[in-house]
Amino acid sequence: MKISPSALLYAVLALSVTCTAGMGSYAGFQLGGQLGSLAGAVVATVGILAAVRITLALAGLRVAATVRAVLGDGHAQGTADTALTGITLYEAAAFPLIDGGTSEQERQARRTVAYRLAAYDGLPRPVRVSAAAALEVIDAGLDRKEARAAVNELAILIYDLRSGHPDADAYGDELR
């Protein structure tokens, strides 16, 4: 049986408050007088600060769990979107709107970034395959429309995988 982190922290919170009350009472009883009162106050303050820290940790766990439940992990979606952005920027550098609109250095820099993003291990396999196909068409540099179609195909794949589109079942559950 696995105990959830929040249940464990609730148990620690209850135990720490109980122990703090016991230690404060014992210190006050043993020392008596002003010294006992001071020792009890110090122990109670430490216990209260520990309880506040545990409560904040519990609140953070609940918020993180709620966000994960609503939005999902988001890592695969973010990496896929970033790869698409890098490939789109490389396409824009490879096929500028104006002749001479990008320098060879800029084109090479965007190409390097696009290839690194497309080869990232955290990227789902279907997206990597589609990204490689788009980069191959862009590198050929023969037809702007063919390159645009390959990048659009990549964008549609990412959208389908994220949204749970019925056509995406062939790709698996990487982005869901």
Rounded distance between C-alpha atoms, residue 13 and residue 55, angstroms:
8
Q: What pLDDT is attached to residue 28?
A: 75
Q: Judge whether residue 173 has pLDDT over 60.
A: no
Rounded distance between C-alpha atoms, residue 80 and residue 137, angstroms:
19
- Which is higher by pLDDT, 89 or 55? 89
Q: Judge whether residue 87 has pLDDT over 90.
A: yes
Mean pLDDT of 81-93: 91
Q: Judge whether residue 147 has pLDDT over 60.
A: yes
The residues near 140 (Cβ < 8 Å, ≥ 6 apart) are none
Locus of tokens 């008596």: 32
Q: Judge whether residue 175 has pLDDT over 70.
A: no
Q: What pLDDT is attached to residue 176?
A: 42
Q: What pLDDT is attached to residue 4?
A: 75
